[in-house]
Chains A and B, each alone.
Chain A
Amino acid sequence: MSHITAPQSVALTAKLRQTLGQIRPAHVVVTLVLFIGAWLMIFPYIWMVSSSLKPAAEVYDADFSIIPKTFAGVKNYSDVLFGQPYPRFMLNSLIVCVGILAVQLLTAVPAAYALAKFRFRGSAILLGTVIACLTIPINVTSIPIYLGLVKVGLLDTYMSMMFPFFVSVFAIFLFRQFFRGFPDSIIDAARVDGMTEIEIVLRLILPAALPAIAAFSVFSFVSHWNDLYWPLIVVQSQDKMTATLSMMQYQSEFDTNYGRSFAAATVVTIPMLLVFLFARRAFIRGITMSGVKG
């Protein structure tokens, strides 16, 4: 501090005082709450990364430390990446996520347009049904869908992994809210100009709805990438396994190598972490746009 001259130091103190003067108790509380919230979110992730670097025995060590005592990272990660057909799992995940998203958009956009812009008998009931379906968890429908897939012999196929998610009521609802804001007079003008309803959707509604579609795409992609429940039920063979499901391989009743499991979990979440970092804005908008978390 010796090189700071007296007037400079006075100015610095004044600035510091000014900064401190702007801090209000409410801000302190908000920051504290946010900090605790962020810590609660991020700590399990740190724990996971830390454990993925430890040998199995150390994961359950009562004497917990973030830094592994014995570094087993290389072994754990090479087991995950090279000890199994890992690229295959990633490809499976990609096929399933892209397939689901494509059909979801194909079904949701026309349905949402009809619900947003057409007056027809029963439209209110249909919309009510859509909203009611938002409340049905997958666990309720999974048994009938599973039995159906067994009957038609589709178990252990990509189709069986994607089928239950082809129609997203969340997407229908989200797009419907978004389309409703589109001016009716522009649609009327398009009809007078000679556009068919399909062309109205393709030429006018879709370009205007790109933010909503981007937001939903990120949302859908992330949630199906992370889905463990459904692939676990319908997939049996290793060549149909998704990346998320592949983590389960290291679990057995007697001996689970938790170090390797955590390494697998880390590797599986990295693509989603990247997606989130790049599409953070779209993702947040997807959740806030309709006030619903799907």
Chain B
Amino acid sequence: MARLTLSDIHKSFGSTEVLKGISLDVANGEFLSLVGSSGCGKSTLLRIISGLETPDRGTIEIDGKAMTALAPKARGVAMVFQDYALYPHMTVAQNMAMPLIMARLPFHARLPGMKWLTPHLAPLRAEMAGQVEQVAQQLHIDHLLERRPAQLSGGQRQRVALGRALVRNPTLFLMDEPLSNLDAKLRVKVRTEIVDLHRASGLTFVYVTHDQVEAMTMSDRVALLQAGTLLQVAPPATLYAEPQSIDVAKFIGSPEINLLPVCAEPEGLRLGATLLPLSHGFKPGTDLIVGLRPEALRLSAPGLAQLRPAEGPELQLDMVQASIEDLGSEIVVHGAVAALPDIALRIRAQKSLQSGVHKIALPERLSLHAPMATAVIFDINGKRLDPQSVARRQEALA
């Protein structure tokens, strides 16, 4: 149980600045994901939290206690590594007991062969073995306790690593891409197991991943990191619907968000020859970018089912279809705006809407309908324009 507070963390390796002032609060019992593409500094941040790296500047607090200068073992954190990092020549039981041995036994009693020379510690040893047994049962690996890591499958090793982290009752649970070495099917399974573990233990989790699906499905909040700065920290749904910048919008969501460059005019936003029915009162001549999620777009064409009339203003564009990905339950259509062929578009549609069309055969020329209520608008530097101020301006214009 712990609240983690990072303030203004800086870290450089040589001349490369990896972290450029990270401030972050993780609430007690929260599951926070650190997401970002590789090299964004997320693993370094996790290592700084664990104490394996020291920040150049900034402070780390756990439950209000300063941890910045403390060694990893003094912080009461547990960490699970991408490659599991099990001790290769020790059995599963020995692996899992190691953090307990290190925390409870004095140095002389940890030396090899001291088991027989320190009989007064036997009850303590038995108690630790009992704890290992209990955690092993919880993770369903109690039948593997006498095996060595080399004799285990990837999923089993992952569970042993989780067990080794759990057994010491950590205040903070750190995970560094723990699922990326598992195959796709097992990954989904362990994903739910970790979520269950979080719920059952009530511990604070900090979870590093480059996989947005993991971040979106598992976490209470997601912290999106890019080039050493935090772009946005928000619950997954907020991050998806209200991205604060183009980078966030592009990173979250698959297929990627559609981005249309437009220019503000007194009567609306101009996209090529089309005028978007959005009068937000932007200064005429301003270049803006309109973001539309692929699943917000609808298609119509002769031979397809009629669309229900949209609520609110809707943009209609002619589109040239380039390719179709059939994912079974849904299809993804790739194409371009007819008037602006270099603007790629992605449309996601439920397959049932295709009214019994099993083999997808869409005509090349389609009509695209985009409800403007779902649009997010960014300035030319990629910063989200405050929805409130946009609404206010719209009102003022009306």
Contacts and interface: CB of A to CB of B under 8 A. Distances in A.
A208 interface: yes
Q: Is the interface of A mostly helix, strand, loop or mixed?
A: helix
Contact of A192 (B52, B82, B87): B52
Nearest to B104: A194
For chain B, the bracket of interface size reads 20 to 34
B364 to A, nearest CB: 52
A239 interface: no
A183 B89 contact: no
Interface in A175-205: 183, 185-186, 188-195, 199, 203-204
Interface string A62-89: 0000000000000000000000000000
Interface size class of A (residues with CB under 8 A): 10 to 19
A204 B95 CA distance: 11
Contacts of B85: 183, 185-186, 188-189
Interface in B87-120: 87-89, 98-99, 102-103, 110
Given A192-B72, A195-B102, A199-B110, A186 B86 contact: yes
B73 A193 contact: yes
A194 B81 contact: no
Contacts of B86: 186, 189
B128 interface: no
Contacts of B102: 193-195
Given A188-B52, A194-B103, A204 B77 contact: no
B322 to A, nearest CB: 43
B5 interface: no
A203 B102 CA distance: 12
B45 interface: no
Contacts of A185: 81-83, 85
Contacts of B73: 191-195
Interface in A214-241: none
A186 B168 CA distance: 17
Contact of B89 (A190, A199, A207): A207
A167 to B, nearest CB: 26
Interface of B: 47, 50-52, 71-73, 77-79, 81-83, 85-89, 98-99, 102-103, 110, 164, 168
Given A186-B88, A191-B52, A199-B110, 10 more contacts: A185-B81, A186-B85, A186-B86, A190-B87, A192-B52, A192-B79, A193-B168, A194-B99, A203-B87, A207-B89
Interface of A: 183, 185-186, 188-195, 199, 203-204, 207-208
16 contacts: A183-B83, A185-B81, A185-B82, A185-B85, A186-B88, A188-B47, A189-B85, A189-B87, A190-B98, A191-B51, A192-B52, A193-B102, A193-B168, A207-B89, A208-B88, A208-B89
